[in-house]
Structures are given as C-alpha cells and as structure tokens.
Amino acid sequence: MSSAANIISSRKATTWRATSTTRWLSVFFAASLVIIWLASAISGGSLLNSFSSVTDPNFNPGSGRPTKTPVTTKERMTTQISAPFYEVLRKTLKKRGTSIEKICPGSDAVARRVLEDYGAMFVASKKVVPPPACVFISEDQVTKFQLQAGVATETIGADEIELQPEAMKQFLKARAEANKESLDITPRGGTEAARRNFVDSMRLWDTRFLPALDYWVGQGRLTAEQATRLRSLPLHEQVAEVLDLEKNEIYFSKDLSKSILYSIAAPGTSQHIAMLALDVTEFQSPRVREILAQHGWFQTVLSDLPHFTFLGLKEDELPKHGLRSVVVNAQTFWIPNVDTR
C-alpha cells in the first residue's frame, strides 16, 4: 500500500509541474504578444510588417519593404482611363490658335460625325500638321493644305506613295525593322493607299453610294424618285441624307451592313487627304501591327482593317490624348473617347 501511495504521489507531482510549466509558457507567450503589439504601435507597424514580409513573395530583404513588380506597357495601357476626347481636343486646338467650333461647327452634323469617327488625327504629335477643318469642300483647299503640311515621296515596289514627312520617316523605319524579321509592310491598293486629293475622295464615295442606292431601290426600301433626288443633291447635303437613312438601317457600306463611314470617308474628310493614313497589305499580321505601333502608326477607323493612321505617339500615351481602345477581330482600334462628352 505504501509503495502504491508513493507512485500516486509522484504522478501528482509530475502533473502539477507539467501544468505549472504550461501555464508559465502561456503567460510568457501572451506577454510576448503584448510587447510585439506595443512595439508595432509605437513604430507605425514596422515590426509587424517585418514579420509578415517574410511570407510576401515580393519582399526585398535588403530594403525592409515589398518590391513592386514592374508594370509592362500593355498593363499600363489596359488599366489607364481615357481622357474625354473633346476636353483634350479643346486644349490641343487652343495651343494651335483655333477651336473645335472653327474646325468643326456644332451646327454641322456631318462635320461632327466625321470628327467623332476620324478625329484621332487631330490629337496627333506636334511633328505633323492636322487639317484646318473636318471637311474640305474643294480641291483648292486640299492642295493648299497639302503644300503647307509638306509632302514626302517614296517608291515601294511599283507604287509611289506620298505622306507627311514625319509619317513617311516612321513608316520607312517600321518597314526596315520588319524586313530584318523577313516581313514586309507595303501599300495596299497602289498609290492611293496613301495621299489622296479631293477628286479621289469623291470618286471613292461614289463606289459605295451609287451601288447601295440601286440595291435599296431594288429592295423596295427607297423609291426611284428618292434615288434620283439623292443623286442630284449638293455633295454635303447628300452625305447628310445618307447618314440619316443609315439610322433606319439603310446602310451604304460596301457590304451594306454598316455605316458608309466605316467603309469609305465622306468626300473631303479622309485622313488620306491629310497624308496621315496608309492602307497596309499585311494588316492581318500581329507582328506587323506591333511594329507599326512602335513607330506611331495605329488603326483608328473602326472596321477599316487595312487603314493605319500616323499619330506619332506611344501606345501608352493614347488614353491621355482622349483615345480609347476597341478590339475588333483581335485587332485594336484607337478611337475618340466621346462617351463622356
């Protein structure tokens, strides 16, 4: 019995010591947490940060703070909010000594529509000369502007093309870079892939307007009398009425499925007249598009896939110039951001 009592007494003592030790460890641990909390509060959290940073994959041990992962140009571009186009344009034109009302009167619905569809060129780099108006009304006006802007000429294959000097310079650089990768960048459609005159724009308008007119008469959507009247209208009024008809889904594009302005420019409004546009044969190549963008050339007219506009800007600068990106058929178009007007 005495031996059993001794064993029981010994077990109780061991249990008490274990319990006591556990209690002291608990107290010590709690006190440590209090000390850490107080130290963190005094130092603005730096001590706790030093603990948590150990598990941070971006932590830089030498600096005591997380290292920010570099943001690529594409990431910056996709997270940037585009500035309102009209706001940017007002400031840009003021620096040039003009205004939106002077180049594109608010009372002229055609001019304003053209501005919102083709207006990217008006916020281009200072190294180019934008048109003095949204709509040229004569060959004399076009000729005067083109002489003022300056014309650079280059022969590509069998085709002689003309652009503004800076636009040509950057196009040739882009082409040289493409050639190094066994690619090429060539004009699509010959000479008129670049510079055009007023008569060219009228002729190309008719290649869309006249066949569409005949089609809609045949479909019974327009009468023969309406068609005759439309053909006889002064040019500016004709464009205005075509755009009105398109509001009722009577479209005049080549495939009759969208606005004529996404197929061909209204007479006197083309970026080709400004010598800041080039239709490119290899437009379907992602690498060609990338090279052109690196040299300031971008797609800016929705649905006109071969059409590139020289803006002379970096791609991540475009949002602050009032342009927003729209992806169509895996191709990125930079168009005026007019949603917040």
Give the global pTM: 0.76
292 touches 281 (CB < 8 A): no
Q: What is the pLDDT along the chain (341 residues), one digit of tens a residue?
A: 444 444 444 544 444 444 455 455 454 555 555 454 555 444 444 433 433 333 343 434 444 444 343 444 443 445 578 999 999 999 999 999 999 999 999 999 999 999 999 999 999 999 999 999 999 999 999 999 999 999 999 999 999 999 999 999 999 999 999 999 999 999 999 999 999 999 999 999 999 999 999 999 999 999 999 999 999 999 999 999 999 999 999 999 999 999 999 989 999 999 999 999 999 999 999 999 999 999 999 999 998 999 999 999 999 999 999 999 999 989 999 999 996 44
The sign of the CA dihedral 273, 275, 276, 281 is positive
